Amino acid sequence: MSQPDSAAPAIRRTRRGSGAVTLHDVAKLAGVAPITASRALSSPKQVSPEVLQRVTEAVSKTGYVRNGLAGSLASTRSRLVAAVVPTISGPVFLQTIQALTQALAESGYQLMLGQSGYVDSREDALLEAIIGRRPDGIVLTGIMHSAEGRKRLVAAGIPVVETWDLTPTPLDMLVGFSHANVGGAVADYLRKKGRRRLAVIAGDDERSGRRLHAFEEAARAARLPAVLTITVPAPTTLKSGRQALAELLESGSKFDAVFCSSDLLALGVLTEARARGIAVPEQLAVVGFGDLEFAADLAPSLTSVRIDGQAIGRQAARFIIERAEGRTPASPVVDVGFQIIERASA
């Protein structure tokens, strides 16, 4: 019989002192020989249903992922780092990817890139494939992962850097900024510019949601009217920005400022405002997020929240390289902060 969770023996972490769960750990928990556990995972029809169930339960309890490089020397480094981003169709993560790729290449590492999506995220499936190949490090976007994904990452013992977010309790290492602080700061900025009736057009992803919530809280604390909100599918586009502004205008609600969760949304808002003869910023202030290259060249130029994506990529690379070479970073969490870049649109 398989043992209940409360009676599960302590797992002795063996992989290069990294804390990884090994096949031997799974076999011990299942009460079978390592070769039997291996056979159950690779050729389940060759073992009895009872053994297969015990091994499967042990894998589930430990978060073990089979090593795709099994047979290679334990001391061998792959010189491969995997990164997972929600999308490569939107430009906001490109600076981070480019800086990460360059910094890793300078130290002899190569980057493998995966796209998880926003809705019905494929992150868990990607992580299983990535962990099985035992890269020297994994770079993730954000801090919101499934319970299964977190268990697998911890069990793998591979250095992990979470990015583009902030928490005092990262999985391993983290470099990013506070989305809540961004939302509050933009609301205060618009209030100080004399804007009283605020609106938000935001993508339906979790990080945009936190900026939206903090924006609403700051407006409420300042005793401003309730914030108007429109949510659009992520990744956001120019088209969804135009459609969202049209929806706000056609609702008949009064507003004099819009905070957009991306510069592409803001570009759509500026385009729709011009098409309807709405003067920016005289009648409507517009603020974006990301400070993409085109923001300064628009007419009017776009006020935006600047995130140093290159700094995020370079620091993530330093974290991975330090850990891969057996060194411990002085601080596992780095806050790169953000800036509101004031331009003509607000």
In a domain, 332, yes or no: yes
Give me the amino acid identity at 32: V
What SS3 state is found at 305?
A: strand
Q: Are residues 162 and 205 in the same domain?
A: no
Q: Are residues 257 and 213 in the same domain?
A: yes
- The domain that holds 161 is classified in CATH as 3.40.50.2300
User: How does residue 121 score in pLDDT terms, banded at 50, 70 and 90?
Assistant: confident
Structure tokens at 267: 């570009």
Residue 16, pLDDT above cutoff 50: no
Which structural domain range is residue 12 located in? 5-62
Q: Are residues 294 and 183 in the same domain?
A: yes
Q: Are residues 183 and 302 in the same domain?
A: yes
Residue 112, pLDDT above cutoff 80: yes
Q: Could you give the CA distance from residue 343 to residue 296 in angstroms, rounded to a whole number? A: 8
In a domain, 116, yes or no: yes
The per-residue pLDDT for range 221-265, each reduced to its tens digit, is: 999 999 999 999 999 999 999 999 999 999 999 999 999 999 999
Q: Are residues 219 and 280 in the same domain?
A: yes
Nearest to 138 by CA among 108, 166, 100: 100
pLDDT given at position 3: 42
Q: Are residues 250 and 286 in the same domain?
A: yes
Q: Distance of alpha carbon 151 from its chain centroid, rounded?
A: 17
Q: How many domains does the chain have?
A: 3
In a domain, 342, yes or no: no
pLDDT given at position 68: 57
- The domain that holds 40 is classified in CATH as 1.10.260
Q: Are residues 297 and 321 in the same domain?
A: no
In a domain, 71, yes or no: no
Query: Going by C-beta distance under 8 Å and a sequence separation of 6 or more, which residues neighbour residue 46?
Result: 39, 40
Q: Are residues 218 and 191 in the same domain?
A: yes
Query: Going by C-beta distance under 8 Å and a sequence separation of 6 or more, which residues neighbour residue 120?
Result: none
In a domain, 345, yes or no: no
Q: What is the pTM of this model?
A: 0.80
Q: Are residues 172 and 320 in the same domain?
A: yes
Structure tokens at 98: 């480019």
Mean pLDDT computed over 319-338:
94
pLDDT given at position 15: 39
What SS3 state is found at 131?
A: helix
**CA-CA distances (angstroms) from residue 67 to 62, 114, 134, 186?**
14, 19, 7, 46
pLDDT given at position 325: 86
In a domain, 286, yes or no: yes
Q: Are residues 158 and 186 in the same domain?
A: no
Q: Could you give the CA distance from residue 20 to residue 67 in angstroms, rounded to a whole number? A: 11
